[in-house]
Amino acid sequence: MSDVTQQSAWADLSKLAEDVKQTHMRDWFDADPSRAEAMQAQGCGIFLDYSKNRVTKDVLTALFSLAKAQGVDAHRDAMFNGSTINTTEKRAVLHTALRNFSGKPVMVDGKDVMPEVLATLEKMEAFTQSIHSGAHKGYTGKSIKQVVAIGIGGSFLGPKIMTEALKPYTHDAVKVHFVANVDGCHIHDVLASVDHEETLIVMSSKSFTTQETLQNTLSAKAWFLKQGGKQEDIAKHFVAVSSNVKAATEFGIAEENIFPMWDWVGGRYSLWSAIGLPICLALGFENFKGLLDGAHAMDKHFCETPFESNLPVILAVLGVWYRNFFDAQSHVLLPYYHYLRGLPAYVQQLDMESNGKQVTMDGNVVNWQTGPIIWGSEGTNGQHSFHQLIHQGTSIIPADFMLPLNVPNQDDTHHAMLASNCFGQTQALMQGKTFAECYADLDGKGLAEDERKALAQHKTMPGNKPSNTIMFDKLDPFTLGALVAMYEHKVFVQGVIWQVNSFDQWGVELGKVLGNQVLDGIQGKVNDDNFDASTQQLIRRFRNANAPD
Ligand code: F6P
């Protein structure tokens, strides 16, 4: 992997960017009626229109050349083959093995991991069935009706957001609640709303060291005992998902109640593992399997499709184009589907924890931009707030619009309005509205000439703002699995192009360590002068406010 800025494709792209910056997408659409048809791709039930991007055929050719020159093919193969591509943690990266239904082995350190993966899926299926059928009883003989899933980061976002996105597939046997934050308000509210005799706690932590998850589980355990449960009853009400079985058993979880995962599954890629147990409980195992099937189909698409029609690769290189040649700071995700409203937060962790990096794989500081800020929320709500900045602000913010063509309980008027807003936004972003058009609109409005010109200036929409439109028939488990895997692979391709390790998260780790040290400071276990003056002051103010009377 060589310095990306030294690639000849990089130099070509720099030159092409100068020309493209002088051109308006409107003119390309006027000049070429086949543009929309030429700039589309599909796979696994997902359709992508990327014609409203500031790219020409030459730009795309150079972007694909850059991806090839950076070795995307070889890196992809290395990931799927179980090579130790997470070099700083000396781990393979094999979330794809969790959804590998090819029947082929996947080797890590000379051992096929597939038997363990499949055995864990069987365990998840059997457990889910025992809960749904009522065969698994709580300690007083009642069936489980409520599940409280405790975890944070990847041990929370995937399960919660996929469950939410697939609401129409909800199984009616249990209600699943999710708790992540260590802010006690949340766990207390949730526990206050459930009956301990009918409640199962699913504690999910890959490392089993995460402060928030351990504390929330301790609070749940204390609540269970206070409500009348005994220590020996815990086995019927607490299960854990972790790669750290030793720590989980030491914590008090019965060994048979631990669902394993492996260090070759990154936290933000873990929803496909037993971390997905709350999804099974909420939706039924067959729907969880549907997610895995969709992701597996996208893995095949990613591995087998030429770059020019490869969904994750196209999205990745477009992102590189704006980040590195247009100085785009952020990328916005706009799902026009209420149930998919959590996707921006999901992709935020996936992308920002993966590619928020400043050194290359070999430890040199990069001199190019890496991962963008990911943000967004459901449409049409954003149209009445932050879209203003996307339309007329001074930054370029590439957008992914998403829309299902069919929705559950379809009301044709609502759905047509939703779709028209989605398409209308992409059109407005692309076309804009010229000063001349705005000036003409103000004819006959009784304005003085100066006033008319000034107002027309305010109303002028530059347009030329890029967007992708991603559509699918309906958001079933298969399609959602494919959609999420598409973003995983997009992030992977960008990481390869930028030469970063997309699979570690040292910045996050430092925060965890310092958080624990400060806790010691707050609890008076270490001296205040261990901290800088500002932090000392904050700790003292907190301690004074919480001092016993
Ligand atoms: O906070 C960062 C992180 O390490 C994420 O990568 C991970 O998903 C999350 O913490 C939770 O970690 P664990 O599953 O080990 O509790």
**Residues forming beta bridges with residue 468, ordered by sequence position:** 400
For residue 129, pLDDT beyond 80: yes
pLDDT for 418-477, tens place per residue?
999 999 999 999 999 999 999 999 999 999 999 999 999 999 999 999 999 999 999 999
Average pLDDT score over residue span 327-346: 98
Is residue 2's pLDDT more than 80? Answer: no
* Ligand 1 geometric centre to CA of 182 (Å): 13
Residue 1 has pLDDT above 70, yes or no: no
Report the pLDDT averaged over residues 177-196: 98
**Distance between CA atoms of residues 89 and 63, nearest Å:** 30
On whether the CB atoms of residues 131 and 144 are closer than 8 A, the answer is yes
Which atom of ligand 1 is nearest the CA belonging to 151? 16
CA-to-CA distance for 278 and 299, rounded, in angstroms?
24
Q: Which of 182, 206, 346, 502 to mutate to test the pocket of ligand 1 (most atoms within 8 A of CB)?
A: 206
Residues 519-528 have pLDDT tens digits of 999 999 998 8
Q: Which residues pair with 179 in a beta bridge?
A: 150
Domain boundaries 107-289, corresponding CATH code: 3.40.50.10490
Query: Do the bridges between strand 258-260 and strand 107-108 make them parallel or antiparallel, or are there none, so unpaired?
Result: unpaired
- Rounded distance, CA 226 to CA 201, Å? 15
Beta carbons of 39 and 464 less than 8 angstroms apart: no
How many whole angstroms separate alpha carbon 297 and alpha carbon 230? 46
* 239-281 tens-digit pLDDT: 999 999 999 998 889 899 999 999 999 999 999 999 999 999 9
346 lines ligand 1 (CB under 6 A): no
Mean pLDDT of the chain: 97
The two structure tokens encoding residue 39: 């700039």
Cα separation of 232 and 176, whole Å? 24
159 lines ligand 1 (CB under 6 A): no
Task: Give the Cα separation of 26 and 427 in Å (integer).
Answer: 10
Strand order in the sheet with 238-242: 175-179, 146-150, 199-204, 238-242, 258-260
Over residues 510-520, the pLDDT tens digits come to 888 999 999 99
Whose C-alpha lies nearest to ligand 1, atom 9? 153
Residue 337: CB partners within 8 Å, gap ≥ 6? Answer: 378, 402, 403, 404, 407, 418, 475
**Which residue is closest in CA terms to ligand 1's atom 16?**
205
The residues annotated with a catalytic role in the active site are: 353, 384, 512
Per-residue pLDDT tens digits for 480-500: 999 999 999 999 999 999 999
**How far away, in angstroms, is 316 Cα from ligand 1 center?**
25
Q: Longest C-alpha distance within the chain, in Å? A: 84
Residue 154 beta carbon below 6 angstroms from any ligand 1 atom: yes
**Residue 311: is its pLDDT beyond 70?**
yes
Cβ–ligand 1 contact at 206 (below 6 Å): yes
